[in-house]
Amino acid sequence: QIQLQQSGPGLVKPSQTLSLTCAISGDSVSSNSASWNWIRQSPSRGLEWLGRTYYRSKWYNDYAVSVKSRISINTDTSKNQFSLQLNSVTPEDTSVYYCGRAAARVGATDYWGQGTLVTVSS
Amino acid sequence: DIQMTQSPSSLSASVGDRVTITCRASQYITNSLAWYQQKPGKAPKLLVYAAFKLESGVPSRFSGSGSGTDYTLTINSLQPEDFGNYYCHQYYSIPYTFGQGTKLEIK
CB pairs under 8 A between A and B: 52
Which residues partner with A74 through β-bridges?
A83
Do A109 and B32 count as a contact with CB atoms less than 8 A apart?
Answer: no
pLDDT of chain B along its 107 residues, tens only?
999 999 999 999 999 999 999 999 999 999 999 999 999 999 999 999 999 999 999 999 999 999 999 999 999 999 999 999 999 999 999 999 999 999 999 88
B29 φ/ψ sector (left φ>0, alpha ψ -120 to 50, else beta): alpha
User: Bridge partners of B93?
Assistant: none
* Range 21-80 of B in CB contact (< 8 A) with A: 32, 34, 42-46, 49-50, 55
CA–CA min distance A26, chain B (Å): 17
DSSP A108: S
Tens digits of per-residue pLDDT, A20-78? Answer: 999 999 999 999 999 999 999 999 999 999 999 999 999 999 999 999 999 999 999 99
Of A98, A107, A109, the CB nearest to B50: A107
Share of chain A above pLDDT 90, in %: 100
Q: Which of B96, B99, B87 is nearest to B35 (CA)?
A: B87
Whole-angstrom distance, CA of residue A103 vs CA of residue B48:
14
Phi, psi of A92, rounded to the nearest 5 degrees: -65, -15
User: What does the alpha-carbon distance between residue B98 and residue B87 come to, in Å, rounded to a whole number?
Assistant: 7
| Mean pLDDT over the full length of chain B | 97
What confidence tier does A100 reach under pLDDT thresholds 50, 70, 90?
A: very high
Which of B43, B49, B97 shows the shortest C-beta gap to A98? B43
* Residues of chain A neighbouring B42 (CB-CB closer than 8 A): 115
Q: Tell me, what's the pLDDT at A76?
A: 98
Q: Which of B84, B76, B88, B78 is nearest to B103 (CA)?
A: B84
Spell out the SS3 assignment of chain B: CCCEEEECCEEEECCCCCEEEEEEECCCCCCCEEEEEECCCCCCEEEEECCCEECCCCCCCEEEEEECCEEEEEECCCCHHHCEEEEEEECCCCCCEECCCEEEEEC
Q: What is the pLDDT of residue B92?
A: 97
